[in-house]
Amino acid sequence: MKAYPRSSGGGGTANLQESITHRIRLFYTYWALKEAYIKMTGEALLAPWLRDLEFANVVVPAPPLSRPSPSPSPSPSPYPYASASASASSLWGVPETGVRAMLYGREVPEVRLEVVAFGNDYIFATAGRGGGFGNSMGPHEEGARWDEFRLVDIERDVEPCASGKCGCLH
């Protein structure tokens, strides 16, 4: 893993705290990437190749520049970002897309990995392959587009379809 760059100025408690914060975020970035890859394959934690999976070009995703304060909701929620009125675009950081998967020391070219910060405390990674998602596309091929992350309200966005009230599945 890459170490946090040390500043040329004096040590100080602030630099130590920044270093610790960076290293924790780096650990969780690798964790999120490994989880995304494992879920993509569907093999779970018993995969025999798990120890041989590595990542290159990993960059810790920066938290978004501003963190909105969630609007008060009619019912108290333990999930402060779940409010439909919260600005979803300001909660997500900029996705880091240059990550490469390495298995048995060789790059896995057909896999696309992306890692992004959500607020100051969460890191999400996604992995995809097939259907134009991979990194191995030629210059004339156009890959599948990944949309930005957005908040989904289960009751508003999913329940009508799941309960058969919307008719979109007919």
CB atoms within 10 A of CB 94: 12
CA dihedral 150, 98, 35, 55 (to 10 degrees): -170
- The angle subtended at Cα 35 by Cα 33 and Cα 2, nearest 5°, is 35
* pLDDT of the residue at 116: 93
79 pLDDT tier (thresholds 50, 70, 90): very low
* pLDDT of the residue at 91: 85
Per-residue pLDDT at 25 exceeds 70? yes
User: What is the pTM for the complete model shown?
Assistant: 0.69
58 pLDDT tier (thresholds 50, 70, 90): very high
At residue 151, the 3 state secondary structure works out as coil
Per-residue pLDDT at 75 exceeds 50? no
What average pLDDT is seen over the chain? 78
32 pLDDT tier (thresholds 50, 70, 90): very high
